[in-house]
Amino acid sequence: MRSAVELSSALVNGLGTAAWVAVPDIASTRRARAALRTGILGATVTAFVLAERHGRTDVEELDGEEADGEEPDGRPWLTVGAAAALSVITHVLVTRGVDAGADRLRRRGVRHPRTLLGAALGTVVAIGELAAPDRR
């Protein structure tokens, strides 16, 4: 059974993804899109931080010890570099896929194709997060 923190995290990530992808259907100017995406990012990060604080308290209560007792890797620059590269590659691939899908749906008469794609991607993100093995 998933905790309330894991369920809320999956919900926030799914909704954040859906909203992020749908922005071009909602805002027509570059400035408005930037403002909306900044708000989405801020809300998602805030929700994540609050969930992690609550989740860390739950883990400490279950284990009876602090969760911060792990040794650092020693090569954080490698981890950060790999994560950044993966993030950029993923962003480019997902953006191209969303653009191609939105164009295809628009040609078929869908009025807000990015909203539809955002809802689908957000659902996949939420289900994927819930289907992942338990982190404890």
Condensed to tens digits (0 to 9), the pLDDT of residues 4-21 reads: 778 888 888 899 999 999
Task: State the pLDDT at residue 71.
Answer: 55
Q: Delimit the domains of the chain by residue range.
A: 4-131
pLDDT band for 35, please (50, 70, 90 cuts): very high
pLDDT at 3 > cutoff 60: yes
Q: Which amino acid is at 87?
A: S
Q: Mean pLDDT of all residues in the chain?
A: 83
For 53, what's the count of Cα atoms within 13 Å in the CB-facing half-sphere? 6
d(CA 47, CA 53): 10
Q: Per residue in 63-77, pLDDT tens?
A: 555 445 555 556 777
Q: Which amino acid is at 114?
A: R
pLDDT at 57 > cutoff 80: no
pLDDT at 59 > cutoff 50: no
129, 9 Cβ separation under 8 angstroms:
yes
pLDDT band for 91, please (50, 70, 90 cuts): confident
The string of DSSP letters for 79-98 reads: HHHHHHHHHHHHHHHHHHHH
